[in-house]
């Protein structure tokens, strides 16, 4: 007997697909179940590994204090409980927005009720880097394990190209392991684009005190021994012509949102996947995490964050809003006795942290793109400091370096929403007046 489904039944039989088996992707899958999606659920990841946490890659895993199993976000049994169609080592290569149809590995077509894109970012590299042994990037678990392997078994001369968050963290770990480290960046102080000159100078002092050599410039060329497939890095030539000897090079020169596979003209892929305030890129198509650029309703402009907490929070928001949209479409029924879901704008207080040596940096709000920065050093020797970041007369971000938790909680409240600059400065002074 042939059974014909009506449009709503056909849509309900389709899966929701989450593209990216990352922290954001896993959080989205779990939230979809929690918010009432009981239909097929497909989680697609281009790596062969179960979902794992990325921040420890440049810290605990690289240092050797953690092994890969400790990075897993869920066990196999916990993933099985979600009743997932888990597609690891599988690459999404296309998306037809109108039909909500994914193409996987260039061949398989997957018709979906909805899609959440959590493909993150890819590490930037330099021309020819893939042909030179000893030149590394650090984005995936396999990247980190390959670099860790090279940092064991003897003294190394490591050049870290890029003095942003990732470069600074990796440089700190390598130095703690006893290697000779040179940290190269476009700006003369570490993390200047993120934290400003004042906090950047404190970080520079800490790295120098630990034995890291700081250099300003960009890597223009690799110098090698051997040739062809046997070429191995022996040094780097900087843009000013100077040479740095190197047994290893880590390219930490930023990242690119992983949107190259999204060619449908209905999508805006300028600096990530453009979304509205609800994290929707198109009807039934949502995004979360590092890849998503969305209209922040409080700050009133599009933002994209490559930070761990945002990945989880945005994934939950995207899942909730997709379920609400599908319920409104009639593609799924609300749970019996449950209040109907309504879409909600995603309006977080952004947060990021970085651990370098014994220092912990924690920031709330927006620290990049500030037109005014006020840095107060509370204890120079301990590197205790606070910085306030402003834009157009409003305080929009705050950063604490080596401050106790009580003070950090008070600082978050200062920038939970943009506040007048002088008022915010007074509140920061009050929050940090006592130890």
334 lies in some domain: no
233 plus 296 within the same structural domain: no
32 plus 112 within the same structural domain: yes
Taking the model in full, what pTM does it have? 0.94
Tokens of 226: 């051997």
342 lies in some domain: no
376 plus 404 within the same structural domain: yes
Q: Which of 308, 329, 350 is at the close of a domain?
A: 329
269 plus 368 within the same structural domain: no
352 lies in some domain: no
97 plus 146 within the same structural domain: no
56 pLDDT more than 90: yes
Mean residue pLDDT of the chain comes to 93
Give the pLDDT confidence of 204-257 residue by residue, as tens digits.
999 999 999 999 999 999 999 987 778 999 999 999 999 999 999 999 999 999
- Residue 22's pLDDT is what? 93
10 pLDDT more than 50: no
How many structural domains comprise the chain?
Answer: 3
300 pLDDT more than 60: yes
- Residue 334's pLDDT is what? 58
| Residues 12, 16: Cα–Cα separation, whole Å | 9
335 pLDDT more than 90: no
139 plus 240 within the same structural domain: yes
| Residues 46, 30: Cα–Cα separation, whole Å | 19
166 pLDDT more than 80: yes
Alpha-carbon distances, residue 368 vs 98, 371, 398 (angstroms) = 36, 9, 11
278 plus 262 within the same structural domain: yes
| Residues 364, 412: Cα–Cα separation, whole Å | 6
Give the pLDDT confidence of 242-293 residue by residue, as tens digits.
999 999 999 999 999 999 999 999 999 999 999 999 999 999 999 999 999 9
Strand partners, 302: 295
340 lies in some domain: no
- Residue 2's pLDDT is what? 28
Q: Which of 205, 220, 252 is at the close of a domain?
A: 252
185 plus 112 within the same structural domain: no
Give the pLDDT confidence of 392-427 residue by residue, as tens digits.
999 999 999 999 988 998 999 999 989 999 999 999
Instruction: Provide the sign of the torsion angle of the four alpha carbons 295, 259, 311, 350, taken in this order.
Output: negative
239 plus 280 within the same structural domain: no
Tokens of 377: 């050093």
Q: Which of 226, 252, 278 is at the close of a domain?
A: 252
Q: Is 271 left (phi over 0), alpha (psi -120 to 50) or beta?
A: left
50 lies in some domain: yes
Strand partners, 376: 386
Domain of residue 146, residue span: 131-252
Q: What is the CATH number of the domain that holds 219?
A: 3.50.50.60
61 plus 156 within the same structural domain: no
115 plus 191 within the same structural domain: no
- Residue 5's pLDDT is what? 34
* Sheet of 157-161, strands arranged across: 135-136, 248-251, 157-161, 180-185, 213-216
Residue among 119, 71, 130, 120 nearest 251 (CA): 130
- Residue 333's pLDDT is what? 63
320 plus 365 within the same structural domain: no
Residue among 349, 317, 346 nearest 418 (CA): 349
| Residues 42, 285: Cα–Cα separation, whole Å | 14
Which residues does 53 contact at the CB level (< 8 Å), separation at least 6?
23, 71, 72, 73, 308
Q: What is the CATH number of the domain that holds 421?
A: 3.30.390.30
């Amino acid at each position: 007997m042939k059974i014909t489904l009506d449009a709503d039944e056909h849509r309900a039989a389709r899966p929701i697909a989450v593209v990216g088996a990352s922290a954001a992707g896993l959080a989205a899958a779990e939230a979809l179940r929690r918010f009432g999606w009981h239909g097929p659920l497909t989680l697609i990841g281009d790596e062969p590994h179960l979902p794992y946490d990325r921040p420890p890659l440049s810290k605990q895993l690289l240092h050797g204090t953690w092994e890969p199993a400790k990075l897993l976000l869920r066990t196999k049994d916990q993933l099985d409980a979600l009743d997932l169609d888990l597609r690891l080592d599988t690459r999404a290569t296309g998306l037809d927005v109108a039909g909500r149809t994914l193409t996987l590995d260039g061949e398989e077509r997957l018709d979906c009720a909805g899609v959440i894109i959590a493909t993150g970012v890819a590490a930037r590299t330099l021309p020819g880097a893939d042909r030179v042994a000893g030149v590394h990037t650090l984005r995936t678990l396999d990247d980190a394990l390959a670099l860790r392997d090279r940092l064991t078994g003897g003294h190394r001369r490591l050049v870290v190209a890029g003095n942003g968050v990732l470069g600074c963290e990796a440089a700190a770990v390598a130095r703690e392991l006893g290697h000779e480290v040179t940290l190269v960046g476009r700006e003369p102080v570490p993390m200047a684009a993120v934290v400003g000159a004042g906090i950047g100078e404190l970080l520079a002092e800490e790295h120098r005190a630990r034995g890291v050599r700081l250099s300003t410039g960009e890597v223009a060329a690799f110098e090698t021994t051997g040739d062809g497939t046997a070429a191995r890095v022996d040094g780097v030539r900087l843009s000013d012509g100077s040479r740095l000897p190197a047994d290893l090079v880590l390219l930490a020169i930023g990242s690119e949102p992983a949107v190259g596979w999204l060619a449908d003209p209905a999508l805006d892929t300028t600096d990530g996947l453009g979304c509205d305030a609800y994290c929707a890129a198109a009807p039934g198509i949502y995004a979360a995490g590092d890849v998503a650029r969305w209209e922040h309703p409080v700050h009133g402009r599009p933002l994209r964050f490559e930070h761990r907490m945002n990945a989880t929070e945005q994934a939950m928001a995207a899942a909730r809003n997709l379920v609400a949209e599908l319920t409104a479409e009639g593609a799924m029924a609300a749970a019996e006795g449950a209040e109907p879901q309504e879409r909600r704008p995603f309006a977080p207080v952004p947060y990021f942290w970085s651990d370098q040596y014994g220092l912990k940096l924690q920031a709330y709000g927006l620290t990049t793109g500030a037109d005014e920065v006020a840095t107060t050093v509370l204890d120079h020797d301990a590197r205790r400091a606070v910085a306030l970041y402003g834009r157009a007369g409003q305080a929009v971000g705050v950063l604490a370096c080596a401050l106790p938790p009580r003070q950090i909680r008070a600082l978050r409240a200062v920038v939970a929403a943009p506040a007048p600059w002088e008022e915010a400065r007074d509140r920061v002074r009050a929050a940090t007046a006592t130890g």
